[in-house]
Amino acid sequence: MGNAAEIKEYDVIIIGGGPGGSCCALALKDTGLKVAVIDKSEFPRDKVCGELMHRKTIETLTSIVPEFEEEFKKYPKTSVLKHTRMHYKGKSIVYDWVGESYTCPRLEFDNFLLNRVKQEANISVFTGTTPEKYTVAADSVTVTIKNSDIIFKCKLLIGADGVNSVVAKQLADKTLNRDHYLGAVRTYFSNITDLRSDTSEVFFNSKFHLNCLWVFPVQGKNNMANVGFGLLSSDISKKKINLKDAFYEYFKISPELGEKFKNAQQEGPLEGFGVSLGSAMGIVSGDRFMLIGDAASLTNPISGTGMGNAVVSGKLAADQIKKCFEENNFSKEYMHQYDVILEQNIYKDLIASYKAQRLFSKIPFILDIVFWLTRYEWIKKKVQRLV
């Protein structure tokens, strides 16, 4: 770094331009605050995941931008899902959702959302910009950029930089806990038998501790779906499981899955990714910073979905940001309000899902009981709350 560094000053800096970071930025659009969004990637960029988003993802964004849902549903890459079919031992249960869910390729959705952020006059977006170090002082946070003389400063920092969050590592001492971390793989298949455009499907098998293989329809021709599978990192390590081999084995040991994919063609490589599960609430805030989305470990341990919680946490963080500037208080103690509201709105359900997932893995026959009990509608509703 040279001697004549350029300093860019903002009220709020959001590290990460994915759904959580973009939602947080949009929620600050009418506050008069000077906001910057910094992302290491150039957009559009892909994000390997299941690409399923629950209703609350779009509801939350629409509460901030009233026309968002209408625009999103008209977007040519959006698929609307109204049902989920669960498969186990040749049996299946169909859940009819009160509110639809959606799939949209992350390459498309994240770019669509960030372009909406760029329309706001008080928000500056910096892509292809890699933060390297975060330094918290009494009156500000300094962000140094890799291979650049530019320095960013702000009064409040938001870590929305994903499962491998550098903000979380440097400011919250976050480390990998294999008992709360999922290793997963994902690819696309076309020409899938009986693939319904409005129905997501999940397949369970006791050999893999009842971790499900998902089949999520995506918009396009040839009966295309996002197909993936994940296991706890601790199980992968202890049993020396090759996740890619296990993925293909799933089709061989599951008769209904094998039948569904007998004429299918894989489209593109099988790619791996990591997921930090919302099964233990760690540090999510401190002096002049908050964590949202995957940086705060908000993925559901049963369904593996996290986009909805990322977006909700972005809005909750924005609500706290407004309070901080109103009171001119950015202390760890004042920021703790965010922890409390995050626990009430998100973590409470995530921890319940984690306990259910671990119970299923230890007592495989419990899923037989669940399938039998779901003939009762009130039991179905209980199960739905966990996912």
**Predicted pLDDT of residue 387:** 54
In the predicted structure, residue 369 carries a pLDDT above the cut 90: no
Token output for 358 = 């671990």
Determine the angle formed by the axes of helices 307-327 and 55-64, rounding to 10 degrees.
Answer: 30
Instruction: Return the minimum-mean-pLDDT range out of 19-28, 168-177, 201-210.
Output: 201-210
Provide the token pair at 77.
């890459």
pLDDT at 232: 86
pTM assigned to the model = 0.91
The answer to whether 196 touches 80, Cβ cutoff 8 Å, is no
User: What are 277-286's pLDDT values in tens digits?
Assistant: 887 788 999 9
Q: Looking at per-residue confidence, does 31 or 74 come out higher?
A: 31
pLDDT in tens, 204-246: 887 776 678 999 999 866 789 999 999 888 889 998 999 999 9
Domain boundaries 179-277+364-386, corresponding CATH code: 3.30.9.10
Whether the domain at 6-83+100-175+279-360 and the domain at 179-277+364-386 fall into the same CATH topology = no
Single-letter amino acid code for the residue at 188: Y
Residue 90 pLDDT grade (very low, low, confident, very high; cuts 50, 70, 90): confident
Residue 268 has pLDDT above 70, yes or no: yes
Domain-by-domain residue ranges, the chain? 6-83+100-175+279-360, 179-277+364-386
Question: Comparing 62-66, 94-98, 168-172, 336-340, which segment has the lowest mean pLDDT?
Answer: 94-98
Stretch 189-215: mean pLDDT: 88
Instruction: Give CA–CA dist 290/336, Å, rounded.
Output: 9
- Asked whether the predicted pLDDT for residue 152 surpasses 80, the reply is yes
Across the chain, mean pLDDT equals: 90
The C-alpha atoms of residue 224 and residue 266 are separated, in whole angstroms, by 10
- Are 31 and 120 in contact by the 8 Å Cβ rule? The answer is no
Confidence (pLDDT) at 303: 75
Q: pLDDT value at position 1?
A: 46
What is the pLDDT averaged over residues 182-199?
Answer: 94
Once rounded to an integer, what is the mean pLDDT over residues 127-153? 97
Q: What angle do CA 195, 198, 201 make, to 5 degrees?
A: 55
Which has more confidence, 356 or 349?
349
Task: Summarize the confidence of residues 327-333 as an average pLDDT.
Answer: 98
- CATH tag, 6-83+100-175+279-360: 3.50.50.60
Q: Tens digit of pLDDT for each residue in 62-72?
A: 999 999 999 99
C-alpha 115: how far from chain center: 19
> What pLDDT does residue 379 have?
61
Mean pLDDT along residues 154-170: 97
- What is the radius of gyration, based on Cα positions, of the chain? 21
